[in-house]
Structure 1
């Protein structure tokens, strides 16, 4: 079974079905061939038999997304990726994560105070006890951004961090909310205004981060316990980070900060957002989680005491998180590109072929999950970390293999802290103004926000 990219440009979209009917086929973006994969067995074979050096990130996406990620960990490959991963991973060790937990609690409590003030200032809510409508997606995105800012900069350059986040969001819109011509020769010239805007925003973000890094270098009060300090000091300050005196250059630190700022706050915020939407639709699960929180965590004046070592007690919350990530994975697909010819049993993937692994499709596949694949059923994860999926590679909320998300433990911690605090104070119902329209804008997000009726307990 083989397929060969044509030797001439084509703008026609074609499909060649293989033995995995409808789950593996070829399509085209301009002159770029893509192998679409929604078959976990093929993903398994490729991840098992293909050497890491044999595939990387599609060049067409690396060029397209350079202003946002540069050559950071998301886009790095080969020796460059190995070195960066080795230097960065210790920054997400349990010891370093403990040091930022209190900052997450502070940011979440500030959001809760804003919501309480809105409710108290609403005469109708106060009179009827009905709460107020809040765009929870916007609020969670903002709070998660504040958490990332404090986690990355330690709260010493809040204004710079806010500007970086604002410009990254504007850059995301410029890159993904307009007509794009990925794979079309000279496609960037078809929408020059957006291309120039994206490049301009990317350069502005770089300047901001360079200034922050240089100011940090000149500071005599750097304790190195935030991400920026850890990256500048070689990854972990004795926690197994750099090799010898190996540290990241300023340019590399900037690219990793951009990657962390975007990926770190966007992924977690959307996981929490989709969870609150699902809990609003299934209030009995709100009750179960609230009961678990008050039963298993110590409290003072009706406020849960949060410690990183106690979060593992929240088993039902973990089930809910796993199910939310299954139904609405913030990273809806994984992309690869063959760096050389890849031969797997009867399939030959020629050098240069892009691969589009559809995570959303696999997470909703009834052959893998059963007839209730589209239903919210957290209990499916009660006794199985894969939720009863018939194939271990059918559940990929954080990617797979060596390139699995390095910051996933930070996501777990932030998710549980924020959800614990908001569920301890409020209940949620879906507003009649909500329009369900998930869309892919690099990540999977609600197109029209998430208006919820937020009621105090």
Structure 2
């Protein structure tokens, strides 16, 4: 069976669409078929190289403000900082500015609501896919709907303000601007325009996905660098070699090869998306096995990334060098490493994530060394994403 046929034979499980509707609605993550093609066609231009370079300047600005605050705390005798909280807040500010052009205050409000929704949906024991399961937790179901509607209203307000600005002749080339252009111009090949609710759903999807994945990748990286100081040194030496004594420039990021290895290894050990789900849209024959139409498949990415049969006996060790010259890190199967999904639905924002990761990490390593706080408790938890349950306290020393 060809890969094209296989791709059309699988879709997003209905149970997960219903379960996550308050958070993602019918955005790019949940759409399928021609609808998905249309949404992706509208969104893709937001991630072209020119737009990414403009975004980089805002990333440097937000990160520098965060690090200046860290310096103030350290100088006042408070060297211990919960970087998970700090990085998540700054990543939210970055996505607010770069993709939606909204203020820090508005971005923080959206971020707070999304985090509350995430906790409501994924903190408690749940029965995903069980008929009428929403009636088992009526308070949680009502709270999720309430938060979902509040977030919708926030984005509708942001969209309305942006429409007024664009009508006044102020151009906009960020994600929201391109979404609005796509909602007013019909592509004859792709059909109808995006509705107001679809615009809101895409905003929710990208605000959450755009900050969560990057923030967690940086957070887990800081944990692993704190426990492997030799890699702090290697990355710092690479930064000095690439940046030299000049001013930091986004074009230099491609030269940070070892930092790319570290990112790949972090995403192997702590993938932001710990599992993937697919549902058979028809009976699918694989060798002698028939997978019935409607079957839900759960792909355990964490287990796959920690499988010694795929990676070898050092599978649980932090070894970024395994990705030197090998994009699959020496994995014995090309589909054994899937930090951004696979196939045509691979994460559209991965290049934005790569850039933000390198910008933030470069600025942190250029100003501080850090060690793990003795108060840290290692407890990775799945709350849709894989995150440190009790935060990540680190102790910083200015260089």
Q: Which residue of 2 is the match for residue 201 of structure 1?
A: 147
Q: Normalized against structure 1, the TM-score is what? A: 0.83
Q: Aligned partners of 1:384, 1:69: CA distance in 2, in Å? A: 34
Secondary structure of the residue that 2:299 maps to in structure 1? Answer: strand
1:151: how far off? Answer: 1.2
Q: How many residues align?
A: 395
Q: Which residue of 2 is the match for residue 64 of structure 1?
A: 19
Q: Which moved more, 1:182-191 or 1:286-295?
A: 182-191
1:54: how far off? Answer: 1.7
1:289: how far off? Answer: 0.2
Q: Which residue of 2 is the match for residue 179 of structure 1?
A: 125
Contact kept? 1:427, 1:456, Cα under 8 Å = yes
Q: Deviations over 1:142-201 (max 9, x none)?
A: 01000000012224x433222111100000000000121212221101111110000000
1:90 matched to 2:38? The reply is no
Q: Aligned partners of 1:221, 1:307: CA distance in 2, in Å? A: 31
Larger radius of gyration: 1
Q: Which residue of 2 is the match for residue 128 of structure 1?
A: none
Q: Aligned partners of 1:348, 1:293: CA distance in 2, in Å? A: 52
Q: Which residue of 1 is the match for residue 106 of structure 2?
A: 160
1:231: how far off? Answer: 1.3
Q: Aligned partners of 2:189, 2:250: CA distance in 1, in Å? A: 29
Q: Which residue of 2 is the match for residue 452 of structure 1?
A: 394
1:307 matched to 2:252? The reply is no
Q: Which residue of 1 is the match for residue 175 of structure 2?
A: 227
Q: Which residue of 2 is the match for residue 258 of structure 1?
A: 204
Q: Aligned partners of 1:51, 1:87: CA distance in 2, in Å? A: 25
What does 1:352-431 correspond to in 2, within 5 Å?
A: 352-431=294-373
Q: Which moved more, 1:410-419 or 1:333-342?
A: 333-342
Contact kept? 2:38, 2:190, Cα under 8 Å = no
Q: Aligned partners of 1:395, 1:356: CA distance in 2, in Å? A: 16
Q: Aligned partners of 1:409, 1:246: CA distance in 2, in Å? A: 28
1:115 and 1:76, CA in 2 relative to 1: closer, same or farther beyond 3 A?
same
Secondary structure of the residue that 1:356 maps to in structure 2? Answer: strand
Q: Which residue of 2 is the match for residue 192 of structure 1?
A: 138
Secondary structure of the residue that 2:250 maps to in structure 1? Answer: coil
Secondary structure of the residue that 1:395 maps to in structure 2? Answer: coil
Q: Which residue of 2 is the match for residue 277 of structure 1?
A: 223
Q: Point out the structure with the larger helix share.
A: 2
Q: Deviations over 1:270-325 (max 9, x none)?
A: 0000000000000000000001101111435xxxx332221000000000000000
Contact kept? 1:232, 1:247, Cα under 8 Å = no
Contact kept? 2:58, 2:97, Cα under 8 Å = yes
Contact kept? 1:333, 1:356, Cα under 8 Å = yes
Q: Please point out which of 141, 154, 157 is paired with 2:88.
A: 141
Contact kept? 1:389, 1:395, Cα under 8 Å = yes
Q: Aligned partners of 1:242, 1:137: CA distance in 2, in Å? A: 45
1:257: how far off? Answer: 0.6
Secondary structure of the residue that 1:134 maps to in structure 2? Answer: strand
Secondary structure of the residue that 1:423 maps to in structure 2? Answer: helix
Q: Which moved more, 1:384-393 or 1:417-426?
A: 384-393
Contact kept? 2:92, 2:211, Cα under 8 Å = yes
Q: Aligned partners of 1:169, 1:444: CA distance in 2, in Å? A: 14
Contact kept? 1:151, 1:226, Cα under 8 Å = yes
Q: Aligned partners of 2:191, 2:21: CA distance in 1, in Å? A: 28
Contact kept? 1:264, 1:407, Cα under 8 Å = yes
Contact kept? 2:88, 2:211, Cα under 8 Å = yes
1:338 matched to 2:280? The reply is yes
1:255 and 1:242, CA in 2 relative to 1: closer, same or farther beyond 3 A?
farther
Contact kept? 1:216, 1:222, Cα under 8 Å = no
1:245: how far off? Answer: 8.8
Q: What runs of 5+ residues in structure 2 fail to find an aligned partner?
A: none
Contact kept? 2:271, 2:339, Cα under 8 Å = yes
1:69: how far off? Answer: 0.1
Q: Normalized against structure 2, the TM-score is what? A: 0.95
Q: Please point out which of 57, 72, 81 is paired with 2:36.
A: 81
Q: What runs of 5+ residues in structure 1 fail to find an aligned partner?
A: 1-44, 126-131
Q: Which moved more, 1:319-328 or 1:216-225?
A: 216-225
